[in-house]
Amino acid sequence: MLHPVFRLAASQPQLLAEHAAGYAGLLAEEVASSGAHLKRRITFQVVGLLSLMVAFILGGVALLLWASLPAASLQQPWLMWVTPLAPAALGALALQMARNDGEAPAFANLREQFAQDAALLRRTTPP
C-alpha cells in the first residue's frame, strides 16, 4: 500500500511544487528577519564599544590635564570628569540594548511548519 503523499505526488505534482515554493518563501523570510536582527545587534555592539573607547580617551585626557595643570588655573574642574560620562553612558546603554535585544529563536516559524507537516504525515499514514 502506498503512502498518501506518494499518491499525491504521482497524481498532482504541482501541489508538492507549490508546497516546496511555500517552504522556500518561508525560508527567505526567516533569513531576512534573522539577518536584520543580527545587523541591529552588531550595530549596537559597535556603537557601544566605540563610545566606551571615546569615554576612556576623554577620561585619559582629563586625567593628564588635571595632573599637568595647576589647580588654581582650572576654572571648572568638574567639567573634566563629567565630559567622559556622556559617551560612557551611551556606550553602556548601547551594549545593554545589544544584550537585551530579544527576539524569537531563529527559524522558529520554519521549525513549526516542519512539525505541523510531520504531524500531518503521521496522521495520514494508514495503520
Encode pLDDT of 39-63 as tens digits: 999 999 999 999 999 999 999 999 9
d(CA 8, CA 26): 22
As a whole number, the mean pLDDT across the chain is 84
Supply the pLDDT for residue 124. Answer: 61
Stated length of the chain: 127
Percent of the chain with pLDDT over 90: 34
Encode pLDDT of 16-37 as tens digits: 788 788 888 888 888 888 888 8
Supply the pLDDT for residue 71. Answer: 80
Quick check: 82 pLDDT over 60?
Answer: yes
- Share in percent of the chain as helix, strand, coil (round to 5): 80, 0, 20
Taking the whole predicted model, whether its pTM rises above 0.75 is answered as: no
Q: Which residue has the higher pLDDT, 45 or 80?
A: 45
d(CA 107, CA 125): 27
d(CA 28, CA 23): 9
